[in-house]
Structure 1
Amino acid sequence: MAARKKSRLERWLSFNQHRKRFGATQAAASLQNADYTQLKTQLLTDTEQHYTHGADKDLSQHLLNLRAEFAGQAELLYYHAQLIVLIRREYQTLEQFAQFERLWEAEGDFLRQQLNTRWLISAADTFADHATDPTTRALALAASLLVNTIKLQETERYLQAAEHLSDQADRQQQLQTERVALFDGTSAFAVGTDDTLRNLRWRLDAMSTAQPMGQLLVELFERLQTHDTVYQRFRQRHTRAKTAWW
């Protein structure tokens, strides 16, 4: 059974939770009345790029650490990250999320194009946790589930040094000529010809085009086809044009 999530009361009574919010009032004040147009053209040039590993409990230090992730990029992307941090640390959550929604309504196209996958998933998780529209929450959760599943698969591949292995021709032939069982009634993907992902793509496009979180889900799905992931590697193995999914 999964560990139980602490209740709101338990989190409110936790000194650690309060400590994580020290300085939040000042941080939130600096984000008020943002000029999106200006923030899109302003680049962060006062730091070198460095990715964080874990989160500092001191809010001011954590935000400073995150700033380095956006070196050379538009200030608006860092602004977006700061809102997520305040929401996750449960500082005036309703107000911060309303500000977050306004940002996505105004600049959704820019954010989808410019944010890396890490921060698109952070955005999706934020909508999944706090949006009131059930369709928005469902599509955001689907985006998070998709990428986190790929992260698991790629991490296992790294753990096992599987990136150094090559395909076995006899097994590839077997996948084309017979059913190969996997788990609980499922069977392996018929490499090169299978229409499963093409049909998945059709369903994805049909339900996602008119919804901002659906568009985010499509963006992430398309990125998986171009970065070194299992989707891209199966794309490279694919041979039947009419069942292509990209």
Structure 2
Amino acid sequence: MKKTIYIHMGPHKTGSTSIQKFIRQNARLLRKFHNVEEVPLVYTKKIVEHIRLGSWQELREVLAELNNYISECQCEAFLWSSEDLSGDLPGRRGGKKPYYHLGRVVSEIQEALHGANCYFYFFRREPSDWLESAFAQHLKYRSRFRSAEEFKSWMHFENLWDKVIQGVQCDNFFVLDFKKFKKDDALGVVRVLADAIPVLDQLLSNEGVTIGELRENVTPPRELVEILECIANSGASDSAKAAARAVIRDSFDNTEQISGAKKERTLKETGSSRSVWPPILRVREDFPERLLPLLDRSRARVLTQSQPDILPDITEDLRPYSLRVVRPDGEWPQTGRSKIEDQAAILKHRFSGLPESSFLLGLTISYLRRNTPVTEKAKALFTRLWEEEYDVLLGVLPARWLISSLQTYFDHGSSEAQKIIGASGYFYANMIKIYEGERSIDGLSPEGNSENTTPVTESGFIGLDRYKIGATDLLLNTNALLLEISLRDEASGRVLQEFILRTAAAHNVFTRHDRYRKRHNINEKPFSNCWSFFNPPS
């Protein structure tokens, strides 16, 4: 007598996790009362990997092993559930057609498991809902696509399921309509599949059946998608994007734990310490007169103001701020920035579409540029944001706000190490910005296109005119020492390290130097290993 194999093939984002969990929760009942086993996971893993790689001969070999196992097994039927049997979730690989190997996989399985009757089940979900879920899943792990429209256009979304299913040549291939959970029905798609598979239907009527907490597969929250899109579109380093995605993903998966409850904290526990603000600037009698105007500018940069406190409580949980998107009210404010409320309105437009934690960071920095009654509170919140929400901030903040944060550490660091890191990073970043800005004004390409390897004009700065591509360790030593400085403090050091990573990935004086050297094949001793970031450009 032929055995029967019920094969649920997904696809992704149609409740597969709930189906698999239900089968495993009731494995004992399936064996005892229905003489049914689940296909061992060891076979599924191998088969799925070969489908992903398109290694069809290896797939046939594993399927042959599975066929022997099924033939020798004493049970009458098998349940086999894996969304990856359909293929990769679109966007993981380069192919544009979703599940384009589905027909071939069904044929390979049917031919290899010839000793059994195979029945295949595939869910069809409303295309726009499925797209949003699939795109959100893509954004949780990578940043290849920046928007749902780009994702949709890339994968030929029109007539989605018709194109997927039309390649399947099998009388026992059944397409089921995906069914969302109802409030009074914890089974959702399990019940839909059970309507098609008799043994699951019988299991549901068993008094001992286990219906644990099954996960609903719904269209993801809009703010989750928006924040993940924000991360994908940011200029952050790949490592910062990955860390930010992980934090956001985990936070949205555990929203019940993020209640917005206030933390039991005091100002002291935030790591904030009182500092002299504005800074006291004293000069000797022989201070150079040429520099006095600069000194006046420095003394005037911090204004004493009586501003209201519009910051959250010092003990408030900051995580919810990273899970909400900034949505400004109305048009761009036609006001100045002297009032903190007007500055906040402007900042909401600047941070529009980014997590609220980034807006809160900008607001604390705005307070700390002034001398107000809430300086210490703003400093404490600034400190907490970079200690608690750094993963999200590093993954979404524009570079200018990294620089602003470094300047704030310079002015308000809780330790000498933080102030040193802040000062070093602030001047490093701003000098790059100044130099690249001047090149842009001169119409020079940020990638560089010069054939020269030594200066062809005088530098205009006596004593700083010795420079030759590939014959200096100046660039390497600058970056190496800066990185060393960043290790003096963990919180402020992370900000500086992220800026260094972005510098290494951007078009600037450092990366141009390395590209020039590589293009001209310069390898002068003792500078052969003096690439700007100690590695040759890719």
TM range (shorter): 0.7 to 0.9
Partner of 1:244: 531
SS in 2 for 1:242: coil
Structure with the higher helix share, 1 or 2: 1
Deviation at 1:181, TM superposition (A): 7.0
2:362 aligns with one of 81, 97, 100: 81
| C-alpha contact 1:49 1:71 (8 A) present in aligned 2 | no
Q: 1:220 to 1:166 in 2, by over 3 A?
A: closer
| Corresponding letter in the other structure for 1:218 | Q
Partner of 2:350: 69
2:408 aligns with one of 99, 119, 126: 126
Task: Show CA shifts across 1:220-244 (max 9, x none).
Answer: 1221222333233223323257332
Determine the C-alpha separation between the residues in 2 that align with 1:115 and 1:64. Answer: 18
1:150 aligns with one of 432, 438, 442: 432
Partner of 1:209: 487
Deviation at 1:168, TM superposition (A): 4.7
| Corresponding letter in the other structure for 1:57 | S
Determine the C-alpha separation between the residues in 2 that align with 1:225 and 1:166. Answer: 15
| Corresponding letter in the other structure for 2:346 | N
Q: 1:3 to 1:236 in 2, by over 3 A?
A: same
Where in structure 2 are there 5+ consecutive unaligned residues?
1-290, 534-538
Partner of 1:230: 509
SS in 2 for 1:155: helix
TM-score by length of 2: 0.38
Deviation at 1:150, TM superposition (A): 1.4
TM-score by length of 1: 0.76
| C-alpha contact 1:80 1:100 (8 A) present in aligned 2 | yes
2:464 aligns with one of 172, 175, 186: 186
1:44 aligns with one of 297, 322, 326: 326
SS in 1 for 2:463: coil
Partner of 1:141: 423
Where in structure 1 are there 5+ consecutive unaligned residues?
none
| Identity across the alignment (%) | 22
Determine the C-alpha separation between the residues in 2 that align with 1:119 and 1:165. Answer: 24
Determine the C-alpha separation between the residues in 2 that align with 1:3 and 1:93. Answer: 23
Deviation at 1:81, TM superposition (A): 0.9
Decide which structure has the larger Cα Rg and report it.
2
Q: How does 1:4-43 map to 2 (within 5 A)?
A: 4=296, 5-6=298-299, 11-12=303-304, 17-18=305-306, 21=307, 24-25=308-309, 27-28=310-311, 30=312, 32-43=314-325
Structure with the higher strand share, 1 or 2: 2
Determine the C-alpha separation between the residues in 1 that align with 2:419 and 2:441. Answer: 32
Task: Show CA shifts across 1:66-105 (max 9, x none).
Answer: 1112222111111111111122232221222122212222
User: Aligned Cα RMSD in Å?
Assistant: 3.5
